[in-house]
Structures are given as C-alpha cells and as structure tokens.
Amino acid sequence: MKNTFLLLIFFTATFINAQDQYSKGMEKAMQLWSEQKITEASNLFERIAMAEDDNWLPYFYISVVNTTASFGEKDEQKLTQQLEKAKEFLDIAKRLSPDNAELLVQDAMINTAWMAFDGATYGPTLSPKNMQLYQKALQLAPENPRVILSKAEWDMGSARYFGKDTTPYCKDVERALELFATFKSDIPFYPSWGKERAEQVLAECKA
C-alpha cells in the first residue's frame, strides 16, 4: 500500500514535471516573441515541437511567429524562407490536428503575407485559396470568433476593392466580438488572439 502510494506520487510528480517543462518552455517562447526576439522564439518553439511531437500547438506557433515576422519584410529571399518555414510547420500541425479551424485561419494568414508582399503576383492565385480556407474553417467552427473575424475582414477587403458596401460584414464582426466573451478552450496556450482587433474593426465600422 505504501509502495503503491509512493509510486503514485512519483508518477504524478514526473507528470507534473513534464507538464511544467512544456508550460515553462511555451511561456519562455511567448516572452521572447513579445520581446521581438523572433529567431529565439521560433527556435524555442521548434525545440518544444521536436520534444512534444504529438502536440500541434508548438508547430502552430512556429508558423505564426514566422508569418507575423514576414509582414513588412522587404527582402524576398528572407520572406520566402520564413513563409516556407511557416507553411512547412503548419502542415505538420495540420497532420497532428486535422480539421482544425485555427490552422486553416493560419494557412490563410500565410497566403495573406504573400499577397501583402506582392499582390499583383500572388493575389490572383492565392485569393481564391483564402476564400476556400475561410469557408471551410467556418464550416468546421461556426462559433469560433477568430474564424468569423478573419473571414469578415477578408470579405470587407474584397468589397472595398470593388467599391461595394462593407457594412453587411460589420454584423459578423459584432458577432465575433460577442463570441470572444464566451469562447473558452481547456487546452493551455490555445490561440486567444483577435478580441482587440475585432474591437478596432468595429470602431472603424461605426466611424
């Protein structure tokens, strides 16, 4: 009995320790990222990903870090390397977590980074792909505020381009904002961005 008890404590301790290591690593990576230490953050997420090879989150964040760093990048070679890396790790994340709407939104984000760099070249091929991605994401997670917000922003961009009214999409943004209040995930480090952005977009809607 005593032995069993000790064994249980030992396992729990090991388990907690492993959990800790993951949380600690993720925290550290997030911190590096917030300090604009892009390479270090990406490298740490990569180390975590390699050690936790069945968890999609670190792979997702490698993709996110490299994508966000690409916005505003002018060096085509560097941009290409970053976005290809982002795509490569996103593909692994998708294999680990199929039919995950968050990953589809991230996929569209990579395409958007390409289009932001060179709209004339990548727009015609990538914008229909993005439309597909948002559509599918919405099917998978109709209540996910990030999906609704991203899709609404995309729709607004297209409408603006064709000189059409963008206000119908403001309702979607409002809905996204409502859902941000209630959207919860039990998974630690689950993506949680978007609320501030939704508020911003809604403010523009009302302006």
Partner 1 sequence: MNNAQSSWAKTIIMKNFLTILFLSIIWVSSAQTTISGTVTDQSNNPIVGANVYLEGTYDGASTIEDGKFSFETTETDTQTLVISMLSYEPHYEVGDVTYLKNLNVQLVEAINQLTGVTLSAGTFEAGDNSKVSVLKPLDIVTTAGAAGDFVAALQTLPGTAAVNEDGRLFVRGGAAGETQVFIDGLRVFQPFNATANNIPTRGRFSPFLFKGITFSTGGYSAEYGQALSSVLLLNTTDTPDQEKTDIQVMSVGGGLGHTEIWGDQSLSINTQYINLSPYEALIPSTQGISWNSPYESISGEAVFRNKADKSMFKLYTGFNHAELDINQEDINFEDFVRFQLTNNNLYFNSSYKYFFDNDWTVTSGASISWDSNDIGIFENKIDAKETGSHLKLKVKKGFSSRFNLYFGAELFNVDYEEIFEAPDGFQSESAYNDQLFGAFVESDVFFSNKFAMKLGARVENTSVIDKFTISPRVSLAYQSSEKGQFSLAYGGFYQNPLTEVLRYDQTLDSEKTSHYIFNYQYLDNGKTFRAEAYYKDYDNLVKFDTELPQFDSQFNNLGGGYATGLDIFWRDNKSIENLDYWISYSYLDTERDYRNFREQATPNFAPKNSLSIVTKYWVDKLRSQVGLSYNYGSGRPYDNPNTSDFLAEKTKSFNNLSFNWAYLIDQQKILYFSVNNVLGFNNINNYQYANTPNVDGIFDRQTVRPSADSFFFVGFFWTISTDNKSNQLDNL
Contact residues: partner 1, CB under 8 A: 13, 16-17, 20-21, 23-27, 30-31, 33-34, 39-40, 43-44, 46-48, 50-51, 67-68, 71-72, 76-77, 80-82, 85, 112, 116, 120-121, 124-125, 127-129, 131-132, 135, 153, 158, 162, 164, 188-189, 191-197, 200
Looking at residue 40, its amino acid is: E
Number of H helices, E strands in the chain: 9, 0
Distances from the Cα of 45 to the Cα of 73, 106, 113, 138, 195, angstroms: 21, 16, 21, 28, 24
- Shortest distance, CB of residue 177 to partner 1, whole angstroms? 13
Q: Identify the CA nearest to 115 among candidates 104, 102, 124.
A: 124
Question: In this complex, which beta carbon is closest to partner 1, that of residue 1 or of residue 178?
Answer: 178
- Shortest distance, CB of residue 191 to partner 1, whole angstroms? 7
- Shortest distance, CB of residue 90 to partner 1, whole angstroms? 16
Alpha-carbon gap, residue 67 to 114, rounded angstroms:
9
- Shortest distance, CB of residue 171 to partner 1, whole angstroms? 17
Question: In this complex, which beta carbon is closest to partner 1, that of residue 76 or of residue 143?
Answer: 76
For residue 15, give both structure tokens: 């388990």
The torsion defined by the Cα of 131, 136, 142 and 145, in degrees rounded to 10, comes to -50
Alpha-carbon gap, residue 113 to 103, rounded angstroms:
15
- Shortest distance, CB of residue 74 to partner 1, whole angstroms? 9
Alpha-carbon gap, residue 20 to 23, rounded angstroms:
5
